[in-house]
Chain A
């Protein structure tokens, strides 16, 4: 009887411990959110979102250049990573046991582990050096490379979950293989693929390192992808290391917007994948 109570007690202690650690692990994120909102929210207003930075000492000014920059960089990254990612993912799901698939899967996994600063340097060598100057295009390419493994992996995983019967049903209706892939398999995995794209976007939105030698940053509004462009994380970095107190405040404000953006993307991703 004694050992029975002891056993129950042991289970209780363990389960209290586990709960405690689960709660503890949320603390860092909540602290980050708390400080960012506390310091950032007071800076954010309409002018902050819609105007360009002003020189130090002049009051007002905003981060429109960085918001536009990050938007353009994400669009370039999506244009590159989405088609490549989806088609590679389809290939891996369809011809998963071929030699090329084995190699490709290996490379994708390694790519996922390559430090982002290295991706930045590689793109610098590929694009910035031959062109002779920094550009939004090179930044978008660097971010696209960062995003690619996420899109490939999520496409492959979701397509593997689609029952073979669905594909066979289409083939048995006399639908050619390529149409079956485009009209049946990919639509059936659409929500999963979309989840991967959103998760990939969330991942790259805050990347700073790959942009240091590529997009470079730009205090002016720029829509030309062949010229240097600003980005939220770059702006935060430059402002935070500056010696001016008013710039620190702006860095907090920009951080707040970036975090809320990434958080929203993650929540949408969760909602879609739950459905």
Chain B
């Protein structure tokens, strides 16, 4: 039995009566990279937005079913994500968006600890310095920015901004980070850097990445889920799904017949 960090039970999500995610049952293994792939509009983004309760921010959005987060501190604790404060959920499950979105009014330094600043969590200067340095090192941004930590984050390149956003999510020490097509706005070099980074990060955090790029899913993920028209068609270890897909639709998607 693999060590599961997040599990959905009959998860169904809709916007204004229009069902976008249909009855999804998915278990995400701890400290791994799980890719969710599928053509545009198949519900993959909506699915991960249900994990950290961002979906319900959209007007007329509805969620049915369960999302269970399994925390392993001293003992194993199962948390029903929809039974606790969404603010708490979002601190446990971080998110990185498609377009790099550092806070425009904050410096690089402040952006990293933005989660603490905005939530009014007081940090000692030494603690803050430590979190900033450690987190920026984790996303391999430290050497590039250590001399200009107090400059605005928006002056960085797109790839650097995206790594800064990953750092901002990591600084809250979440169990999981969700990445919603994090490289779709980036050039191939910056994309490669992010992909390498994710490989390194999976020792400390579970990664769920949404991508419509089959190649990316194949390159970086340990597990892959294929979604089509709101349904989870196939889910399993990446090497198995990519070499011996069980479902016809998956094979068509992987070979480029649909997409």
Nearest chain B CB to A26 CB, angstrom units: 35
Do A169 and B87 touch (CB < 8 A)?
no
Give B155-186 as 1s and 0s: 1 = Cβ < 8 Å from A's Cβ atoms.
00000000001001100100000000000000
> Do B99 and A176 touch across chains, with their CB atoms under 8 A apart?
no
Q: A179 and B118 in contact (CB under 8 A), knowing A174-B87, A184-B103?
A: yes
Contacts of A188 in B (CB 8 A): 103-105
| Contact B105–A174 (Cβ < 8 Å) | no
Residue among A166, A172, A190 making CB contact with B103, cutoff 8 Å: A166
Say yes or no: A169-B97 contact (C-beta < 8 A), given A174-B91, A174-B119: yes
Does the CB pair A173–B90 fall under 8 Å? Answer: yes
Interface assignment of B218: CB less than 8 Å from any CB of chain A:
no
**Interface size class, chain B:** 20 to 34
Check if B90 sits within 8 Å of A165, measured CB to CB.
no
- Residues in B77-136 with C-beta less than 8 Å from chain A: 87-91, 94-95, 97-99, 101-105, 114-115, 117-120
Query: Given the complex of chains A and B, what is the CA–CA distance between A184 and B114 in angstroms?
Result: 10
Q: Which chain A residue lies CB-closest to B57?
A: A171
Cα A40 to Cα B117 in complex, Å, equals 53
Residues facing B in A157-203 (CB within 8 A) are 163, 165-166, 168-176, 179-180, 183-184, 187-188, 190
Q: Is B8 an interface residue (CB 8 A)?
A: no
Residue of A nearest to B95 (CB): A172
Q: Is the CB of B120 within 8 A of A179?
A: yes
Interfacial chain B residues near A169, Cβ < 8 Å? 97, 101-103, 165, 168
- Tell yes or no: B233 within 8 A of A by CB: no
Chain A residues near B165: list those with CB within 8 A.
169
Could you say which residues of chain A place their CB within 8 Å of the CB of B94?
172-173
**In the complex the two chains form, what is the Cα distance from A166 to B100 in whole Å?**
9
* Contact of A174 with B104 at beta-carbon distance under 8 Å, contacts A169-B97, A169-B165 already known: no
- Interfacial chain B residues near A170, Cβ < 8 Å: 103, 114, 118
Cβ of B99 and Cβ of A165 under 8 Å apart?
yes
Q: Shortest Cβ distance from A52 into chain B, in angstroms?
A: 45
Contacts of A165 in B (CB 8 A): 97-99, 101
Tell whether B54 is near chain A: CB-to-CB under 8 Å: yes
Give bound CA distance, A190 to B105, whole Å: 9
B46 contacts chain A at the CB level, 8 A cutoff:
no
Flag A112-143 by CB within 8 Å of B: 1 or 0 each: 00000000000000000000000000000000
Given contacts A165-B97, A188-B103, contact A172 B119 (CB under 8 A): no
Min distance, Cβ B60 to any Cβ of chain A, angstroms: 12
Option from A163, A166, A173, A190 in Cβ contact (under 8 Å) with B119? A173
With a CB–CB cut-off of 8 A, which chain A residues contact B90? 171-174
Contact A163 B87, beta carbon cutoff 8 Å: no
Question: Measured between C-beta atoms, what is the minimum distance from A9 to chain B in Å?
Answer: 48
Q: Give Cα distance in the complex from A63 to B95, angstroms.
A: 60
The answer to whether A166 and B101 have CB atoms under 8 Å apart is: yes
B88–A174 touching, CB < 8 Å: yes
A-chain residues with CB within 8 Å of residue B103 when the two chains form the complex: 166, 169-170, 184, 188
Indicate whether A183 sits within 8 Å of B118 (C-beta atoms), given known contacts A166-B103, A168-B54, A188-B103.
Answer: yes
Question: CB-CB < 8 A to A168: which residues of B?
Answer: 54, 57, 95, 97, 101
In the bound assembly, the distance between CA atoms of A187 and B98 in angstroms comes to 23
Smallest CB gap from A191: residue in B: B105
A87 to chain B, nearest CB (A): 20
Check B118 against A184 for contact (C-beta < 8 Å): yes
Min C-beta distance of B90 to chain A, whole Å: 4
Q: How distant is B162 from chain A, measured CB to nearest CB, in Å?
A: 12
Select from chain B the residue with minimum beta-carbon distance to A165: B101
Query: Separation in Å of the A150 CB from the closest CB of chain B?
Result: 23
How many angstroms between the C-alpha atoms of A79 and B52 in the bound complex?
40
The CA of A127 and the CA of B102, in the complex, are separated in Å by 48
A187 to B120, CA, bound (A): 16
- Once the chains are docked, how many angstroms separate the CA of A171 from the CA of B103? 12
A22 to chain B, nearest CB (A): 35
Q: How far is the CA of A174 from the CA of B174 in the complex (A)?
A: 11
How far apart are the CA atoms of A171 and B101 in the complex, in Å?
12
Pairs A–B under 8 Å by Cβ, sample size 7: A163-B101, A166-B101, A170-B103, A171-B57, A171-B90, A173-B94, A175-B87
B interface residue numbers (CB < 8 A to A): 52, 54, 57, 87-91, 94-95, 97-99, 101-105, 114-115, 117-120, 165, 168-169, 172
Closest 8 CB pairs of A and B: A174-B91, A174-B90, A165-B101, A172-B95, A173-B115, A175-B118, A174-B87, A187-B105
